[in-house]
Structure 1
Amino acid sequence: METSAGAFAERLVAAGLRPTRRRVALAELLFSRGDRHVTAEKLFDEATTAQMPVSLATVYNTLHQFTAAGLLREIAVDGARVYFDTNISEHHHFLLEDGEELFDISGAVAVANVPPPPPGMKVARIDVVVRLTRDDD
């Protein structure tokens, strides 16, 4: 696992991004803790706690740049909530609705009866998000 600013800068360059100070610092916050799911607000809070001078808009922009460069995977769970996943492999998710927690489903998920795409298009990816509530029993 990467741990130095230099390693994160190299990772950004390899993805075609300029390794600015803020990008490297945000990459370190994101990727030094292994696979995880964050929202822009959560990463902004972590940056603030780390006394990193960065705006929420910069965090949003950086997350979208990292996603476009293939460093993150964006998981939209509804119109208002978007998570960014440091694990970019093909996998699916559970969403704990009352805690707004997203976590990986281990193993394969069978997706059946996918309709054919319109002419001239192809299926790029299928994301499955299984919504959970706590069992009150």
Structure 2
Amino acid sequence: MTMETEMRPDDRLRRFGLRPTRQRMALADLLFAKGDRHLTVEELHEEAVTVGVPVSLATVYNTLHQFTEAGMIRVLSVEGARTYFDTNVSDHHHFFVEGANEVLDIPVNNITIGNLPEPPEGMEISHVDVVIRLKPKQR
């Protein structure tokens, strides 16, 4: 476990400039307690309900977007209607297992990105997301 995953939810929230409300702390605890992971709003809401955290789906959605704006997590869009939130904010890429709706980190240094286009004037590239889609081999 890294120091980041061992950080208390209230300390983590304050570090990113967010007020540690009861619901934010409970969601941050669920989100970060298991190390790096990829979750949808619905999956985190289900986890919260399962452990008895009284929170609405809208609150989970709003909280995850607040965490994203603060830089605590990042958004990963791999399917049109499904957005995953990634607790690993370092530069890395992903495998997406089609049919299983599973997102896996690609080990760092396994992909080299080159020949990126020049961004338009006044813009800079913030990051590049590579998603490699996987499916079971056909026999």
TM-score range, shorter chain: over 0.9
Q: Does 1:2 align with 2:6?
A: yes
- Which whole-Å deviations, capped at 9, do the CAs of 1:70-102 have from their partners, x for residues lacking one? 110111113311111111111000000110100
Give the superposition deviation at 1:121: 1.2
Name the stretch that deviates more: 24-33 or 103-112: 103-112
- Structure-2-length-normalised TM-score: 0.91
DSSP 3-state at the match of 1:114? coil
Q: Distance in 2 between matches of 1:61 and 1:9?
A: 18
Aligned to 2:72: 71
Give the superposition deviation at 1:113: 3.1
- Structure-1-length-normalised TM-score: 0.92
DSSP 3-state at the match of 1:75? strand
User: Tell me, which stretches of 5 or more residues in structure 2 are unaligned?
Assistant: none
Say how many residue pairs are matched. 134
Aligned to 2:132: 130
Name the stretch that deviates more: 82-91 or 114-123: 114-123
* Code of the aligned partner of 1:2: E
Mapping of residues 10-21 of structure 1, within 5 Å: 10-21=11-22
Aligned to 2:121: 119
Q: Distance in 2 between matches of 1:118 and 1:88?
A: 25
CA contact (8 A) 1:37 1:102 kept: yes
Aligned to 1:34: 35
Give the superposition deviation at 1:112: 3.0
DSSP 3-state at the match of 1:102? strand
Q: CA RMSD in A?
A: 1.2
